[in-house]
Amino acid sequence: MADWTRKDVASGTLSPEAAAKIFDDLGTPADQRGPDVRSDEQKMIDKHFPAAKPEEFTIRYNAIGDDAPISAETKQFDTSARTWLSSAGFPRDVGNSLVNIIAKVAQSTKDMTPDQLETYRQTELLKLQRAHGEKLEERLQAADDMIDQLEHQRPGLKHVLGSNGIGKNAMVWNMLIQHAPIFHARKGR
């Protein structure tokens, strides 16, 4: 309905005032009331990889069945994590997969010494090199650019990736590498 309203305003068959009333009745957010200025590529990306809203991601901090309240610090982190995933434009299922991988990595590396973490990093880097070959540096740079932009919007992501071996894991990086082109295409870069 909102799309039809935007098209009617653009074609001149509906006044902006009448459109505003329709948008108000529909509860259409202000950023979705204007004409769609996305490129065809951006529209295709959004259609095939729909970005989830922060509340659509499933992030657990307690064991299943444990309904104990989470701390204020954890709530703040949860808000940040959901914002990073949504701002990056992760679809719900891909974002949830990334969250699950990060949780498993943090659990398996939490007791590693610095030397063990370094060995882990080297092993994981070899996996990435085998998977991406000569394109690895280019793909890592695109993922780094995405991370930098997200960090600029809401600081703390680099800290998370730097803790508990999370940013050393090949699966985490592979998911970031795979998503970076989608992120950049959505941003028109």
pLDDT in tens, 149-166: 999 999 999 999 998 889
Average pLDDT, the chain: 89
Q: Tell me: do 180 and 128 sit in the same domain.
A: yes
Q: How many domains does the chain have?
A: 2
Which of the two residues, 59 and 62, has the higher pLDDT score? 59
Both 66 and 18 in one domain: the answer is no
How far CA 135 is from CA of 90, 139, 151, 182, 184, in Å, comes to: 22, 6, 24, 17, 17
Residue 27 shares a structural domain with residue 45: no
Mark whether 86 and 28 lie in a shared domain.
no
For 156-180, b/e burial (b = at least 16 CB within 10 A) is ebeebbeebbbbbbbbbbbbbbebb
- Co-location of 116 and 50 in the same domain: yes
Interval 158-179 mean pLDDT: 94
Per-residue pLDDT for 135 more than 80? yes
Q: How far apart are CA 186 and CA 189, in angstroms?
A: 8
Least confident stretch, 42-51, 86-95, 108-117: 42-51
- What's the chain's length in residues? 189
Question: Cα 179 to the chain's mean position, in Å?
Answer: 8
Which of 23-27, 47-51, 180-184 has the largest mean confidence?
180-184
| 10 lies in the same domain as 79 | no
Q: Print the domain residue range for 25.
A: 1-37
Give the tokens for residue 50: 């729909």
Amino acid at 159: H
Question: CA–CA separation, 158 vs 156, rounded Å?
Answer: 6
User: Does pLDDT of 139 surpass 80?
Assistant: yes
- 33, 47: one domain: no
Q: Residue 189's pLDDT is what?
A: 65
- Residue 2: its pLDDT value, please? 67
Looking at the fold, whether 45 and 22 belong to one and the same domain comes out as: no
Higher pLDDT, 112 or 16: 112
pTM comes to: 0.76
Whose CA is closest to 28, among 37, 40, 19? 19
Q: Which of 45-49, 79-83, 175-179 has the lowest mean pLDDT?
A: 45-49
More confident residue, 115 or 60: 115
Are 174 and 168 a contacting pair, CB within 8 Å? no
Which amino acid type is present at position 38?
R
Write out pLDDT tens, residues 93-128.
999 999 999 999 999 999 999 999 999 999 999 999
Give the C-alpha separation, 170 to 122, whole Å.
10
Q: What is the pLDDT of residue 158?
A: 95
- Do 123 and 115 form a contact (C-beta atoms < 8 A)? no
Percent of the chain whose predicted confidence (pLDDT) is above 70: 97
Are 150 and 103 part of one and the same domain? Answer: yes
Residues 52 and 143 in one domain: yes
Considering the domain architecture, whether residues 6 and 45 belong to the same structural domain is answered as no
Residue 77, phi then psi, degrees to nearest 5? -60, -45
Domain match, 55 and 124 both: yes
